[in-house]
Structure 1
Amino acid sequence: MKLKKRVVVITGASSGIGRATALACARRGAHVVLAARSARELDRVAQQCERRGGRALAVPTDVTDPGSVTALAAAATARFGRIDVWANAAGVGVLGRFDQTPPGELRRLLDVNVIGAVNGARAAVPVMRGQGEGILIDVASLLGAVVQAPYMSGYAMSKAALVTFDDVLRTELALMGASGISVCTVLPAGVDTPFFRHAANHTGRELRSLPPVATPERVARALTGAMRRPRPRVLVGPYARSLAAAHTLAPGLTRAALARRTEHRYLDPAGDAPDSPGNLHVPSGRSSAVRGGRGSGWRTAARRTAAATALTCTALLGARAAGRRRPT
């Protein structure tokens, strides 16, 4: 499907992957419908999209409110007459051990990351069934879907739930006879967005660095690729594929390696970082951006390749050692 003059609804469009995807779609001539909580930031993104050649409609939306999401779909069809693609890119995060995470914040995270996507599907699918076609895209994560790491149990739980929801949704659409609707789950690894700057933090530690990261623009290219040629699952980048392969070969060793790196490389030693709810309940506002400033240039690419190679080699060695220990 060519994107020119196609109608693409994007939640989480004010920042990170959602914003990068909106700009990428606009450059291809799409009509973009932008959804997020911050009206001012959405207007800025809409202006950027129109400068790149697309038509844009900004609709302030809280994805946790079913009525707000239904109104988003209605606004899209009222302006452009249809919805060709609905991309659920809205997401929030909480850093903290499971027993340090306030229950209300965990509930809010699940409401945004899971129920928000379900609300999007409930609003988009009836429109797409009426058209006879459409594409629903959910931005999940390699974390939770394939691998695990400490201090992000809520986030990983939400992304695992999203993957399962998409699998079930494909089956239900087939049973409904809605063969023209495709469901695609995008699974990025680390991405250089403002996500960690905006995440709630209850670790008592500042984030020191991130895993080797991809650019939001790279993930946006994966999303626009899925719009042109839908596939059930898309892993973004060689690091994601290598990490998935390592986990398949030696899941225990891969989890242990990720746990060590998270504990000793990505977080500062235990300190006095204050607890923060991040942007769970309040829009990010002027701190919204495409990138998070963690860097994704050639040095990061080299680190990403080295880390992926090390993890894969560790998994291979572990699998071989396990095979030698197995009784004959």
Structure 2
Amino acid sequence: MTSRVVVLTGGSSGIGRAAAHAFAARGDKIVLAARGLADLEKVAAECGGQALVVPTDVTDRAQVDELAEAAVDAFGRIDVWADTAAVVAYGRFEDIPPDVFDKVVTADLLGPANVARAALRVFRKQGRGTLILSSSLLGHVTVPYMSTYVTPKWGLRALTRILQQETRDAPDIHVCQLVPGSVDTPIYTSSGNYAGFVGRPPPPVDTAERMGDAIVSLADRPRRSRSVGLANEFVEAGYSFMPPVYDALVGPLMRSFGLSRRRTGPDKGNVFASKPRVYGGPARYGRAPVSAAALAALTGAAALALTGRRRLKRRTTA
């Protein structure tokens, strides 16, 4: 299917920007939405200047509804709606100001809910359409210092599953979930921070372009869920099958690999308002040393957990 109408919320940077490039290369009609007009216009120019730009805050239901109306008014329909909009605030739960925690949860859970509501309303009228919600590996496991992000991603995973159940009566309406692992995007340099150190994507790190291609693939061939990340299966296996070992290791490993050595003071980041995006920073910040014993323990635990998971799968499918 060519020349689709694609709405991208969160289209100003990171995975959304990469998806915009990929859809534009296919000749699709793009509607770009995010809070920051300047960044949206940059992405539109990168896509050939043909994209429709609609500044939108997904936490504002009225703005999301207006975005849907603008897309339909401009192009007559919406074929694909992919939502990658998200914000983050690092820090221990008790150190994060309540208003910051509430705002991140609102953006990362109620924002996608607003998107889903608007998209499904259009899809029901058309009788078809594909909604792609960007979840995360952190919607399947937990890590310290990211309660603001993990909490709504678990909720989004549940919402996506429910929407898949509730659209079974409409075989041409698809609800898909992208589950990225660690991705190098500007979300780390833009995030709120109460952890003392700038966050960074822990290795192995994928590119935003790989995730953008995965979104296009889901639009081409919808499926319920697609996990993209070299370590996703290992991390989920360790979390599910060896929780005591996982809980013992995840804190030190998060401090070593999920937080850089670049210090930062308490900062709300882009949680409440858009900020200019900075590319290529956190993935290059130095890491704290981690002991060989901890890495060996993690590797062994992951291998055992993954073996157990695969054996369980074989038993249940036999």
Structure 2 counterpart of 1:229: 221
The Cα offsets for residues 153-189 of structure 1, whole Å up to 9 and x where unpaired, read as 1200010000000111111222xx3222111111111
Q: Match for residue 241 of structure 1?
A: 233
Deviation string for 1:135-167 (max 9, x for gaps)? 111111101x22211100120001000000011
**2:77 paired residue number:** 82
1:260-280 alpha-carbon deviations (Å, 9 max, x no partner): 2112344367x9731000001
Within a 5 Å distance, the mapping from 1:60-79 to structure 2 comes to 60-79=55-74
Among 137, 141, 151, the alignment partner of 1:147 is: 141
CA shift for structure 1 position 190: 0.9
- Contact 1:9–1:83 (CA under 8 A) maintained in structure 2: yes
Matched, 1:315 2:302: yes
C-alpha distance in 1, partners of 2:192/2:213?
28
Contact 2:234–2:305 under 8 Å retained in 1? no
Distance 1:179 1:192, change over 3 A: same
* Equivalent position of 2:314 in the other structure: none
SS of residue paired to 1:278: coil
Tell me how far 1:126 sits from its aligned partner: 1.4
**Pick from 189, 195, 209: which aligns with 2:187?**
195
Partner residue in 2 for 1:161: 155
TM-fit CA distance, 1:208: 6.8
Q: How many Å separate the matches in 2 of 1:9 and 1:319?
A: 37
Secondary structure of 2:206's counterpart equals coil
* Distance in 2 of aligned mates of 1:154 and 1:171: 27
- Secondary structure of the residue aligned to 1:238 is coil
Q: 1:242 to 1:25 in 2, by over 3 A?
A: same
Alpha-carbon distance between aligned partners in 2 of 1:318 and 1:37, rounded to the nearest angstrom: 41
Q: Which runs of 5+ in 2 are unaligned?
A: 285-293, 309-318
The residue number in structure 1 matching 2:212 is 220
Letter in 1 for 2:244: G
Using the size of structure 1 for normalisation, the TM-score is: 0.84
The answer as to whether partners of 1:137 and 1:183 remain within 8 angstroms in 2 is yes
User: Matches of 1:258 and 1:189 in 2, distance apart?
Assistant: 15
RMSD value, Cα: 2.5
Residue in 2 aligned with 1:173? Answer: 167
**CA offset at residue 316 of structure 1?**
3.9
1:29–1:309 CA distance, 2 compared to 1 (3 A)? farther
Distance 1:123 1:266 in 2: 35
Confirm whether residue 273 of structure 1 aligns to residue 264 of structure 2: yes
Q: Give the alignment's TM-score, normalised by structure 2.
A: 0.87
Distance in 2 (alpha carbons) for counterparts of 1:309 and 1:48: 44
SS in 2 for 1:33: strand
Pairwise CA distance, 1:254: 2.7
